[in-house]
């Protein structure tokens, strides 16, 4: 992709890729739980994995308000592909912001081309959304860390080549610090559980990840030792929440469009469904709430672009509203389509299953509400 493309040209390009390549494979990939490497290679060939990286890191330097519409378009065709894409983009962003020169040179060119992908591994079986409750430890031994512990529900499972892993470090066991390490899949001591058998987002190959005396060079630190919360804040929260909101928006847009078209062609007693007031109300609700989610996402993205230090607060609001809207809109779309909507051939049942996963991804709605209120009321 040329760095000179306008925003409209970029959207036209991603729409073409989604229409020609990504959307046609989505139903089969969902049914067979196939990891969508073909889609990822298509996005890589077109340059989309470099979208949010700075130009001097080989990227296109897009803002959050430029990134979100691209993610939305991918999610309209396949939310699993969009989630894998988002995870890899934020890992690349973390490498750009906090990786040493040798690590950047080793991984960024390959990730940007879509030859390999990154994933993030923060959550643990006992920690949920609370990163301060993690237990995976990295003990410093000379030029290495010895990592022991496990991570839970990692998008891209064992398909990624590098994992941004949140660990505890520090000599004082009673007061450990959060640190982020880039752990390579092929390092000794790394292993994976079986793919989780999920309701939706079935092509994302979510797995548990285990570290058994995994020796990670100190050179693989992302950010300073003890500064993991900063990496998490800048790359994952600062960009990931907007991406997750954009995936939810894509699902709502797709479902609203499919159900609205269905209502104009499905005849009941000689009349299109769309002539019935009860159905019209559902269509109006889908349209208004989807547009509201888009307006909030873009408003929050624009503020965060101008004031990056506020990105977490605005990203949480956008993700909370868009993910809840996506569940409501996809559910309403299924209702508009009746029994057809409940069948795989009509797509919206997949959109509803996928939307449900976004309510849990990264931070649940409950955590988002707590954190938004906490940020708004702290003195
Ligand atoms: C599709 C999908 C993709 C994911 N991808 C990744 C990934 O790539 N990398 C990664 O690290 N993780 C990933 N996760 C994990 C995800 O971040 C966690 O599932 C999420 O943080 C919730 O944790 P939990 O599942 O352990 O739920 P729990 O923590 O057990 O929570 C259960 C319920 O209790 C509520 N709850 C928990 N604690 C509190 C509290 N203190 N106050 C109020 N309510 C509370 C929660 O909101 C939730 O409703 C993914 C999850 C999903 C579903």
Which CATH number do you get for residue 73?
1.10.540.10
The tokens describing 125, both together, are 């079986």
CA within 13 Å, CB half, 217:
8
Is the same domain home to 209 and 81?
Answer: no
Do residue 215 and residue 248 come from a single domain?
Answer: no
Ligand 1 centre to CA of 367 (Å) is 9
Does residue 127 sit within a domain? yes
Using the mean position of ligand 1's atoms as its centre, give its distance from the Cα of residue 325 in Å: 19
- Which of the listed residues 201, 226, 251 is the one where a domain comes to its end? 226
Query: What pTM does this model have?
Result: 0.97
Length reported for the chain: 379
Q: How many Å lie between the centroid of ligand 1 and the Cα of residue 170?
A: 26
Q: Are 166 and 122 in contact (CB under 8 A)?
A: yes
Q: Which residue in the block uniquely carries the two structure tokens 């909101």?
A: 245
Cβ 127 under 6 angstroms from ligand 1:
no
CA distance 213 to 241: 32
Q: Are residues 234 and 353 in the same domain?
A: yes
Q: Ligand 1, residue 123: give the atom nearest the CA.
A: 11
Cα–Cα distance, 267 to 281 (Å, whole number): 18
Residues 251 and 324 in one domain: yes
Does residue 210 have its Cβ closer than 6 Å to ligand 1?
no
Q: Are residues 159 and 266 in the same domain?
A: no
Q: What is the C-alpha separation between 334 and 282, in angstroms, rounded?
A: 11
The answer to whether residue 1 is domain-embedded is: no
54-89 burial code (b ≥16 CB/10 A, e <16): eeebbbbebbbbbbbbbbbbbbbbbbbbbbbbbbbb
Identify whether 102 is part of a domain.
yes
Instruction: Please tell me whether residue 185 adopts helix, strand or coil conformation.
Output: coil
Sign of the alpha-carbon torsion through 139, 163, 190, 200: positive
248 and 373 both lie in a single domain? yes
Q: Of all protein residues, whose CA lies closest to atom 24 belonging to ligand 1? A: 128
Same domain, 175 and 109: no
Residue 14 covered by a domain: yes
Q: Whose CA is nearest to atom 44 of ligand 1?
A: 366
pLDDT of amino acid 204: 98
Is 142 part of a structural domain of the chain? Answer: yes
Q: Using an 8 Å Cβ cutoff, are 291 and 285 in contact? A: no
**Sign of the CA dihedral running 174, 178, 181, 185:** positive
**What is the number of structural domains in the chain?**
3
In the listed set 117, 151, 168, which residue is the last one of a domain according to the structure? 117
Yes or no: say if 250 and 73 are a contact pair by the CB < 8 Å rule: yes
- CATH number of the domain within which 193 lies: 2.40.110.10
- 183 and 296, same structural domain? no
Residue pLDDT tens, the chain, 379 long:
767 889 999 999 999 999 999 999 999 999 999 999 999 999 999 999 999 999 999 999 999 999 999 999 999 999 999 999 999 999 999 999 999 999 999 999 999 999 999 999 999 999 988 888 999 999 999 999 999 999 999 999 999 999 999 999 998 888 899 999 999 999 999 999 999 999 999 999 999 999 999 999 999 999 999 998 888 888 889 999 999 999 999 999 999 999 999 999 999 999 999 999 999 999 999 999 999 999 999 999 999 999 999 999 999 999 999 999 999 999 999 999 999 999 999 999 999 999 999 999 989 999 999 999 999 998 5
Residues 239, 152: one domain?
no
User: Pick from 261, 289, 265, 282: which is nearest to 336 by CA?
Assistant: 282
What pLDDT score was predicted for residue 378? 82
At residue 126, φ and ψ (nearest 5 deg) are -100, 0
Quick one: 176 and 200 in the same domain? yes
Q: Going by C-beta distance under 8 Å and a sequence separation of 6 or more, which residues neighbour residue 331? A: 352
Task: Write down the pLDDT at residue 379.
Answer: 54
The alpha carbon of 19 and the centre of ligand 1 are apart by a number of angstroms equal to 32
Examine residue 255 and state whether it is found in any structural domain, yes or no. yes
The closest residue, in CA terms, to atom 6 on ligand 1 is: 154
Enclosing domain of residue 236: 229-377
Q: For residue 46, tell me if it sits in a domain.
A: yes
For residue 214, the 8-state DSSP code is E
The first and second tokens of residue 224, run together, are 């300073």
Give domain status of residue 345, yes or no: yes
User: Is the CB of 11 within 6 Å of ligand 1?
Assistant: no
Beta bridge partner(s), residue 145: 140, 216
Q: Report whether residue 122 contacts ligand 1, using a CB cutoff of 6 Å.
A: yes
Q: Are residues 310 and 190 in the same domain?
A: no
Nearest Cα residue to atom 5 of ligand 1 = 155
CB-based contacts of 48: which residues, under 8 Å, 6+ apart? 1, 14, 70, 85, 114
Pocket residue to mutate for ligand 1, from 160, 198, 361, 363, most atoms within 8 A of Cβ: 361
**Structural domain ending residue among the three candidates 187, 208, 226:** 226
| Ligand 1 centroid – CA 173 distance (Å) | 26
Q: Is 208 in the pocket of ligand 1 (CB under 6 A)?
A: no
């Amino acid at each position: 992709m040329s760095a000179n493309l306008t925003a409209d040209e970029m959207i036209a390009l991603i729409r073409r890729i989604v229409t020609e390549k990504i959307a046609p494979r989505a139903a089969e990939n969902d049914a067979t739980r196939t990891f969508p490497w073909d889609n990822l290679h298509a996005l890589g060939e077109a340059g989309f994995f470099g979208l949010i990286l700075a130009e001097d890191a080989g990227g296109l330097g897009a803002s959050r308000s430029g990134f979100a519409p691209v993610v939305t378009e991918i999610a309209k065709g396949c939310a699993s592909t969009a989630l894998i894409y988002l995870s890899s983009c934020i890992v690349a962003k973390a490498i750009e912001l906090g990786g040493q020169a040798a690590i950047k040179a080793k991984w960024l060119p390959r990730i940007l081309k879509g030859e390999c992908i990154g994933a993030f591994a923060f959550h643990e079986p006992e920690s949920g959304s609370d990163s301060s409750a993690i237990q995976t430890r990295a003990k410093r031994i000379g030029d290495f860390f010895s990592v022991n512990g496990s991570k839970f529900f990692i998008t891209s499972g064992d398909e990624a080549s590098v994992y941004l892993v949140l660990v505890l470090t520090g000599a004082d066991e009673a007061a450990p610090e959060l640190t982020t390490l880039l752990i390579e899949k092929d390092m000794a001591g790394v292993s994976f559980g079986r793919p989780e058998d999920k309701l939706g987002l079935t092509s994302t190959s979510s797995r548990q990840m285990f570290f058994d005396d995994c020796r990670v060079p100190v050179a693989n630190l992302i950010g300073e030792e003890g500064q993991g919360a900063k990496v998490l804040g800048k790359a994952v929260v600062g960009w990931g929440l907007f991406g997750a909101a954009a995936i939810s928006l894509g699902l709502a847009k797709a479902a609203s469009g499919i159900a609205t078209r269905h209502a104009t062609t499905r005849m009941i007693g000689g009349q299109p469904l769309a002539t019935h007031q009860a159905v019209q109300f559902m269509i109006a609700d889908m349209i208004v709430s989807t547009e509201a989610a888009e307006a909030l996402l873009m408003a929050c993205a624009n503020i965060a672009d101008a004031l990056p230090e506020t990105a977490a607060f605005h990203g949480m609001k956008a993700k909370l509203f868009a993910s809840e809207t996506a569940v409501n809109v996809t559910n309403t779309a299924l209702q508009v389509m009746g029994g057809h909507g409940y069948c795989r051939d009509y797509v919206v049942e997949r959109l509803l299953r996928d939307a449900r996963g976004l309510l849990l991804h990264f931070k649940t709605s409950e955590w988002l509400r707590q954190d938004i209120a906490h940020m708004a009321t702290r003195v």
